[in-house]
Structure 1
Amino acid sequence: MTGMVLAELTKLRRSALWIVAAVLPLLTVITGTVNYSANQGALSAGWTSYWSQVTIFYGMLFMSTAIAVLASAAWRMEHRGHNWNLLMAVPARARSVVGAKIAALALVVAVMQLVLLLMVVLTGKLVLGLDGFLPWNGVAAALLGIVAALPVVALQSVLSMLIRSFAAPVVLGLLGCVAGVGILYAGIGGAVPYLVPQALVIRSLSLGGTAVSDAGVLDLSTAAPVAVASAALTLLLWALGSAVLSRRDVR
């Protein structure tokens, strides 16, 4: 399994995926910085307010959409030419093939989150001149966001595996973002927010922030359900993708 993950990362080494992982956080930080600078009279919580302005649209749209693009790009090479036939001839179980894709994409997402954190800190200190440092809950929310993004990675990987079109899985991912935002603003509680992968991303990145009034604090009682739901959904989608791939044939 580790060897297959390394093989997937080797495939992605010279792809444009890493550009997405760097450019998207940059655009997010620019947007958040502009919003924070224009509303400093109403935003008085310093780093917490700035972090909230950066992550509000990132959690609702940018992060999940980026994952959809990354997954489509990662599977696109398998859909080209005879690569699918080569994939089906690999002497490995379907769950290893699907799992390697998910793991490789998850590592790219982790890099994207780390780039976001670095840019937030540098911009907050050097551009906005904020005192102190980004609070621990901001760092924790970013790391929790990696965990919460795993079901989105798994879902978009399965969609991109099944659909040869590059754009169609991305569009479906956007619809998932719309559903996640709708759940957030409708105040739907219970298990529903934990069953929609994009809603998990929104919830995790909003915890402890000020942009969403009912986001809640970030502590073990709020982080644990996100982590558990993420693990369960990821395993379920991994199993689903593996079952489907094991029944696919050469083409």
Structure 2
Amino acid sequence: MRHTGRVRLLSSDLHDLDLTETVRDDDLVRLYTFPERGGIRTNFVATLDGAATGADGLTGSINNAADKVVFDLNRQLADVVVVGAATVDTEGYAPAAGKRPLIAVSNSARLPRGWSAGPQTPGMAVLVVPERADAAAVSRARDILGADNVWQMGADQVDLEELVARLRRDGLPRILSEGGPRLHTALLGLGLVDEVALTWVPTFAGGPPPPTTADQQVTVDFRLRHLLESDGTLLGLWSRR
């Protein structure tokens, strides 16, 4: 695990860690390890003025070395990554053989760009769609990904509770979600989000800030688990009260 700059621990509920010391790689793993029972963790980066992406609409234009360390670590510690299909498109996430399963949630059943390479290993690149999604789109997705990699659950919208239940039954209880805003809001609204990992980078993006949640009122209280600092970047983890 490589990172640039000193990482300082400002606050933690792991009381054996010294707040005056530089955080070591093994301590960083301890800080971000999922609860033993698993759970759903969402992960976001934001600028000081609240933007979740840069002017180009990508998170890559606002994140930095410290955030990349935590981004990669969260993926390493998770069993599975769940992302909205629009975010898969925007960020260019592609299935990667031998790594964490990637689950794309799409109410329209539109296959993300970059997912057209042919059938994937079952469970490694999955498109989740509702039962009433366009039949032609579902058929195309099955032709490309393989029938085992297109899951239908829910009527007009993907049933996220059913999705989470299936992942847990499949032995994948440590679930990481990387957005986007609509999926994040839906998970919060259903009370499914257990933890939020959030990075603030010391940058102003300017213009209307793309939010981490959709335009829908959802109130959920969290408590701070830890807060880190590296070269002016703040990296925190919160758990639901």
Which of the five TM-score ranges fits, normalised by the shorter chain? under 0.3
Q: Which has the higher strand share?
A: 2
